């Protein structure tokens, strides 16, 4: 269980892994890897719960389905895997009309189809809260784990950060997020292509940014036994994220649920030409050094950043 950073949520997972002992595989990476026939499958499961991960009045039913599916597919992206399909387990309260149930599943289907997969199967049950568990199934020739970063590697991030957080904060305070930021929250794009590209470029470690760069950088550090050094002035910020008391770079680095990829590449490998080919920004945000933990610097000064802990 070396692949998890500090935090109460991860303490719970460590306790579970201890109790499971030999009845569990390694539980500390984005995907489980299974050798089957002559191939390697990548599998992951992810739950989105009403009033924990979203509210029904924030999203259309199709967006609820899309968003939950994108969040789960993001784990395949972080492994460098291609998508076979998803299984969807949906719990719906009795006040949800059948047409909304269908629309949620349409969002699931559209999202997985956008990545070349299909809905393989599912379960439908009642429940007091709307809850959607998506299990993703992919195939991967060269899995990229969290544990392969070495001192000297550079740290790269796709897209821009902070957009989903900005939208979420607007929604939480009853405001109306800017349309393009709302889109980042409601319809994140699974970075499947980008993950495969990083893998083909020789990425040494990779994960998807669900807890925010500030939290997730620590997972790579813990799994790889290295220190991850982030230069906050280089962090790509979503346009229109709020100023306020925090420097925008700090806001962006602490924003969760952007579902961009964070990857380490050997120094000298420049992914930008390849990423131009898929029309996606990729930015060098720091380096890997000997040591442990994650260090964040802004204008030459070290800044202390906490990640997002779902059980705090």
Three-state SS for 135? strand
Cβ closest to a copy of itself, residue 234 vs residue 310: 310
Of residues 297 and 310, the one with the C-beta less far from a copy of itself: 310
CB atoms < 10 A from the CB of 99, how many? 9
| Cβ closest to a copy of itself, residue 75 vs residue 231 | 75
Tell me the sheet residues that pair with 289.
227
Q: Measured from the CB of residue 216, what is the shortest distance to a copy of itself in angstroms? A: 16
- Nearest approach in angstroms of CB 30 to a copy of itself is 9
Question: Which is closer to a copy of itself, CB of 160 or CB of 210?
Answer: 210
Secondary structure letter of residue 22 according to DSSP = G
**Burial level of 163, CB count in 10 A (0-12/13-18/19+)?**
buried
Q: How far apart are CA 59 and CA 145, in angstroms?
A: 33
d(CA 294, CA 245): 23
CA distance 294 to 230: 7
Q: Write down how long the chain is.
A: 312
Nearer to a copy of itself, 1 or 246 (CB): 1
Cα distance between residue 308 and residue 243, in whole Å: 20
User: Whose structure tokens read 């925010």?
Assistant: 212
CB of 149 to a copy of itself, least distance (A): 21
Q: Among residues 124 and 278, whose Cβ is nearest to a copy of itself?
A: 124
Rounded least distance, CB 250 to a copy of itself, Å: 26
Q: How far is the CB of 234 from a copy of itself (least distance, A)?
A: 31
d(CA 201, CA 215): 25
Binding site for a copy of itself (CB under 8 A): 9, 11-13, 15-16, 18-25, 27, 31-32, 34, 36-39, 41, 43-47, 49, 51-53, 84-85, 87-89, 91, 98, 101-103, 105-106, 109-110, 112-113, 118-129, 131, 133, 135, 137, 139, 310-311
Shortest Å distance, C-beta 135 to a copy of itself: 4
């Amino acid at each position: 269980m070396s692949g998890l950073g500090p935090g109460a949520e991860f303490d719970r997972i460590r306790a579970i892994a201890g109790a499971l002992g030999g009845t569990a595989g390694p539980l500390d990476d984005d995907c489980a890897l299974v050798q089957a026939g002559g191939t390697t499958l990548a599998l992951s499961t992810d739950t989105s719960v009403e009033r924990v991960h979203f509210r029904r009045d924030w999203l259309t039913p199709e967006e609820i389905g899309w968003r939950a599916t994108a969040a789960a597919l993001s784990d395949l992206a972080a492994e460098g895997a291609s998508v076979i399909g998803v299984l969807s387990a949906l719990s719906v309260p009795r006040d949800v009309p059948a047409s909304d149930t269908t629309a949620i599943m349409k969002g699931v289907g559209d999202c997985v189809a956008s990545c070349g997969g299909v809905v393989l199967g599912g379960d439908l049950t009642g429940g007091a809260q709307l809850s959607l568990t998506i299990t993703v199934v992919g195939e991967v020739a060269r899995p990229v784990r969290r544990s392969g970063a070495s001192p000297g590697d550079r740290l790269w991030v796709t897209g821009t950060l902070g957009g989903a957080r900005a939208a979420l904060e607007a929604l939480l305070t009853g405001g109306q997020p800017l349309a393009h930021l709302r889109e980042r929250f409601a319809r994140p794009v699974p970075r499947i292509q980008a993950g495969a590209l990083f893998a083909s470029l020789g990425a040494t470690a990779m994960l998807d940014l669900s807890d925010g760069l500030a939290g997730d950088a620590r997972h790579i550090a813990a799994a790889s036994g290295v220190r991850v050094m982030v230069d906050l002035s280089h962090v790509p910020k979503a346009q229109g994220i709020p100023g306020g008391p925090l420097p925008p770079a700090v806001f962006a680095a602490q924003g969760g649920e952007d579902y961009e990829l964070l990857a380490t590449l050997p120094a000298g490998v420049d992914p930008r030409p390849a990423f131009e080919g898929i029309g996606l920004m990729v930015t060098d945000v720091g380096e890997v050094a000997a040591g442990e933990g994650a260090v964040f610097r802004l204008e030459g000064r070290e800044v202390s950043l906490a990640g997002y802990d779902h059980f705090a």
